[in-house]
Amino acid sequence: MNFKNDKRFKSFIVTIIVVILLVTVIPIPYYVEKPGTSENLRDYVSVDGKRDKYDGSFMLTTVAVQQATIASLVSGHLNHTNDVISKKEMMGTSSGKEYEEMQHYHMETSQNIATKVALDLAKKPYKVDYKGIYVMSIDEHSNFENKLNVGDTIVKVDDQKIERTEDLTKYIKTKKIDDSVKITYEQGGKTKETKGDLIKLPETKKAGIGITLVDHTEIDTKEEINFSTESIGGPSAGLMFTLELYSLITGKDLRNGQDIAGTGTIDSEGTIGRIGGIDKKVIAADHEGADIFFAPNDEIDPEIKKKHPDVKTNYEEAIESAKKNRLEIKIIPVKTVDDAIKYLEKGK
């Protein structure tokens, strides 16, 4: 009898251990997004070997993303500052490795654009060297899936030189659905070629390759500009990179001792774009003690607003998060990098 009881007890313990492992350790195809960190950019950016020494700081903000277990999925739903999203919502059809590579190339592009915009604002000379276009993602219906990889650089289409995304777009407009095209691309330092038929793009109903692209550029300038952001990915630090670079290049102290956080993509003209997770980023900035948070003051397309009446601008989302979480941080709406600089200069 004792032997049977002992055997049952051991089976019970093993069952409990298995259940605990299933609930707390085994990953499931969902991710939990929550407030991340605020990083002082003086630790990540230098110009001519020098780093920012002014009082206060410019900070980029992040969203922490963790693959869910059953336990973290439940806690994620219970915590109002967290969001639970499916793997497909987060990565689309990309693998984990491809998604990480996309984030890396988004970050590299963001840094190049930030460098260009900061030099423009500082009225410093530079040269943009167009290397081709990065492959950022490949649609599952594209005939180039399993032929091209994320991070490949397209340099020619049908033997025509391609330097920018607009070059490719212009050429593809001359083609029809099911037309075959030859793509010359660089991968791992080697030049390769592949062929495939154009597909009907679901968004435009026109012919296309079925890949997401971004310009692969390098900025040639007399200033030696370095970024150390190996552990961070994505495009959303463009605004804050530009402010940090502008301050370093011009020697202007814009902060007046304040800790200034923010987020937003930028284009080559310095226009700030919408990003995801701003409700969490403003919490991260407040927890780090930031005084000011710059939020993109984007405009919602009327057609999108009509279909989704509850959609808000980034600025509205940040304000809503600050009120809901009783944050003390001051949120400033900005449309361009110049808006942010003028705001800081006015406050001195």
Go through 32-63 and write b for each residue having 16 or more CB atoms within 10 A of its CB, e for each that does not: bbbbbbbbbbbebbbbeeeebebebbbbbbbb
- Residue 114: other Cβ atoms inside 10 A: 28
**How far is Cα 133 from Cα 51, in angstroms, rounded to an integer?**
31
The whole-angstrom separation of Cα 290 and Cα 270 is 23
Closest CA to 24 of 63, 84, 75, 65: 75
Burial class (CB in 10 A: 0-12, 13-18, 19+), 220: exposed
142 in active site? no
Strand order in the sheet with 292-296: 83-86, 30-40, 57-67, 259-262, 292-296, 330-334
Q: 244 near 45, Cβ under 8 Å? A: yes
The closest of 150, 141, 137, 155 to 196, measured between CA atoms, is 141
42: left (phi over 0), alpha (psi -120 to 50) or beta: alpha
For 310, the token pair is 């509850």
Per the annotation, the verdict on 180 as an active-site residue is: no
Q: Residue 118 — left, alpha, or beta (φ > 0 → left; ψ -120 to 50 → alpha)?
A: alpha
Which of 236, 247, 280, 321 is catalytic? The answer is: 236
* Residue length of the chain: 348
Catalytic entry in 94, 280, 281, 321: 281
Per DSSP, the three-state class of 25 is coil
Q: How far apart are CA 125 and CA 119, in angstroms?
A: 7
Q: What tokens does 86 get? A: 């499916």
Active site residues: 236, 281
